[in-house]
Amino acid sequence: MNTIEQALSILQESGYRVTAPRRALVEIIDEQDRAFTADELLRLLAGRGEAVGRATVFRTLDVLVNSGVLDRLHRPDGCHTYVRTERDSEHRHHLICSDCGAVVQFDECTVAPLLEELGQRTNFAISGHWLEVFGLCATCRH
C-alpha cells in the first residue's frame, strides 16, 4: 500500500468515515506481506482486541480494490484473497504459489495478440481479461 494515510484518504473520498476500526483495518492490511483473506483480517483484528464488523471489512476491501490499492485474486477453490498492489500499471497479472500463497505481480502481457485473434475468430468483442497463474514458488519447490 502506498501509505496508510493515502488509503484512508481514498476511503474518505469514497464517502466512508475514517473510524478507529477502519484505521485499524488499514493498518493491518499495510502489514501484510503475502496474499490474505477477509477472514484472516478479521482474526488478526480480533487478536488485537479490535471490534470490526464483517461488512466493514468487505466494504473497505472493495473500495481499496476499486481504487487500485489492492488486487483481488481468485483462487481455484472459489475463495478470494487480496494482495497489495505493487505496480503502477492498471494492467497487472499474478503468479500465485499454491502452497504458501506467495504472489508475484507482473504487467507484461503477451496474451493480447492471442485475444485479438480469438475475438476475430469468434466474433467476440473482448473488453478485458485478467491472468492468474498457479504453481509453486522456488522456496516451495525445494
Query: What pTM value is reported for the model?
Result: 0.76
pLDDT of the residue at 1: 47
CA distance 26 to 64: 10
- CATH at residue 28: 1.10.10.10
97 with 77, same domain?
no
Domain span at 137: 87-142
Side chain identity at 125, as an amino acid letter?
A
Q: Does one domain contain both 81 and 91?
A: no
Inter-residue contact 84 to 33 (CB < 8 Å): no
The pLDDT confidence band at residue 90, using thresholds 50, 70 and 90, is low
Considering only CA atoms, which of 10, 39, 32 is closest in space to residue 22? 10
Q: Is 48 exposed, middle or buried (0-12, 13-18, 19+ CB in 10 A)?
A: exposed
pLDDT (0 to 100) of residue 120: 94
**Mean pLDDT across the chain:** 87
2 has pLDDT over 60: no
Whether residues 40 and 59 fall in one domain = yes
In the 8-state DSSP scheme, what is residue 91?
A: S
Residue of 105, 100, 104, 107 whose CA lies nearest to 136: 100
**Given this model, what pLDDT does residue 77 score?**
79
| Domain end point (choices 41, 67, 85) | 85
Is 18 in the same domain as 64?
yes
User: Environment class of residue 57 by beta-carbon count within 10 Å: exposed (0-12), middle (13-18) or buried (19+)?
Assistant: buried
To the nearest whole percent, how much of the chain has pLDDT over 70?
A: 95
Inform me whether the pLDDT recorded for 76 exceeds 80: no
C-alpha torsion 27→33→38→43, nearest 10:
-70
Q: pLDDT band for 28, please (50, 70, 90 cuts).
A: very high
5 and 19 together in one domain: yes
**Counted domains in the chain:** 2
**93 and 47 belong to one structural domain:** no
Residues 66 and 100 in one domain: no
| 2 or 33, higher pLDDT | 33
